[in-house]
Amino acid sequence: MRMDRYENMLKLPRKIALNPLVQLIFAMSLCSCFYTKLSVDTIRFFLTISTCLRALLTFVLPFLLFSFIAVALSAIPKEGMLFVLVLMATVFISNFINILISGSVGYVMLSGVVAKEVNNNAVSIMPLFSLQLPVVAKTLHALIFGIIIGFANSLYPNKYVHRVINLVHDGVMKFMKHFFVPLLPIFVSGFLLKLFAEGKMTGFLKENSKICFVMCVFLWTYLALWLCMAASFKKKRVVEIFKNTLPAIVTAFSSMSSAAALPLSLEAAHKNTKDKVLSDAFMPLTLNFHMLGDTIIIPILAMTIMLAFNHPLPNIPTFLIFGVFFVLNKFAGGGVPSGTIMVTVPLLRDYLGFDDSMIAFAIAFYGVIDPIATSGNVAANNFFVIIFQKFSNFTRKKFRTRGSPNIP
């Protein structure tokens, strides 16, 4: 017994050291403390590594979007197609409503704020060289192609198509989990060193920490409303649901992974709904699709960065277009730490006008608040399954149908 405890104590430092959040914060701390001691050529060297990694990510993103959507849709059996389509439509609507709410709150918070531009001096540091890789497909085309192939393979299964889809999916996951995510601190460090050396990092946290704090408070206030709705605003039921869900929320926060919290989410959903069939179908399907934390945090964070770089806030049509594609991207979150912000990078660049420095800011600060976003995602899904059950029961009662939904 003592030996097992001793071994666990030895494993704890290694586990902490390998935590992506700890590594990212450590890298950011090193950059802020030692950038003045590095020569311009050294900073250019690290910046070159970061730009090469970004080029690799940009090259892989279409395959990531295509494979995740195609794999998810291909897994839908014909007999469960109606249930899954209804669920996916509900998730899409929920995510889009969250985007609209987040955008509205962001506009209210930031529209009256005087642009607090990051400091900018005459120094401009460029990489030693740029890695030029071919553009295989635009992200929109990859999304559409993944949807078409996924639905077609679900309705008319083909083992060769299934094999190709899974081969691409497995290759992308190996790249993300075993290559890109471990190098994420280095990827961010190159851009951060450039920002520090150019003076653009100075004062950002000091000027915008209050906004980031309010953003996180709003997220959990919004989740509290969801919890009350799931509990029909009954105090005893609120406590019961929260108590059942808390282990999954804590696991998601510490691991920055909805997948790691899935077993606990399933257990909580079983207790909260008393419907194991619904829970077992609902929770895995919404795992990487329904991301309330991300849909609340990322738009506000993006607008904060836009103000910091003296960019005007997006107009309503531009934001709506961004919102639609942002929600579509939720079906390809990647299931890896900071995966959501990675697949959002093309949208930030194409629709909100982000440049490399702004993207570096977005990735770095999302990495720090990723535990908050992920735990918000898990909490929302656990509340959402109860709300979905209430809606399903109401619909069956309204139209006088019997039996449970056609769940695979």
Q: Give pLDDT tens digits for 306-329.
A: 888 888 888 999 999 999 988 887
Does the pTM surpass 0.85? The reply is no
- Domain span at residue 73 reads 20-398
**Packed helices 235-255 and 356-398: angle between N→C axes, nearest 10 degrees:** 150
Tens-place pLDDT, residues 394-405: 776 665 544 444
Residue 135 has pLDDT above 60, yes or no: yes
Cα 384 from Cα 369, distance rounded (Å): 22
Q: Which range, of 19-23, 198-202, 239-243, averages the lowest pLDDT?
A: 198-202
Please count the residues of the chain: 408
Q: Which residues of 259-275 are buried (b: 16+ CB within 10 A; e: fewer)?
A: ebbbebbbbbbbebbeb
H-assigned helices in 231-261: 235-255
What percentage of the chain carries pLDDT values higher than 70? 83
Tens-place pLDDT, residues 88-118: 888 889 999 999 999 999 888 887 655 455 5
C-alpha 398: how far from chain center: 36
In a domain, 11, yes or no: no
Overall domain count for the chain: 1
In a domain, 320, yes or no: yes
CA dihedral 87, 88, 92, 93 (to 10 degrees): -30
Predicted pLDDT at 121:
55
Tens-place pLDDT, residues 353-390: 898 778 878 887 887 788 888 899 999 999 999 998 88
**CB–CB of 347/329 below 8 Å?**
yes
Burial class (CB in 10 A: 0-12, 13-18, 19+), 90: middle
Predicted pLDDT at 42:
93
Distances (CA, A) of 252 to 162, 184, 196, 242: 31, 19, 32, 15
In a domain, 186, yes or no: yes
In a domain, 250, yes or no: yes
Find the CATH number of the domain harbouring 204. Answer: 1.10.3860
User: HSE (CB half, 13 Å, CA atoms) of 315?
Assistant: 1
In a domain, 9, yes or no: no
Cα 223 from Cα 169, distance rounded (Å): 32
Sign of CA dihedral 52, 362, 348, 219: positive
Residue 177 has pLDDT above 90, yes or no: no
In a domain, 6, yes or no: no
Cα 302 from Cα 349, distance rounded (Å): 11
In a domain, 15, yes or no: no
Q: Which of 138, 356, 379 is nearest to 253 (CA)?
A: 379
In a domain, 10, yes or no: no
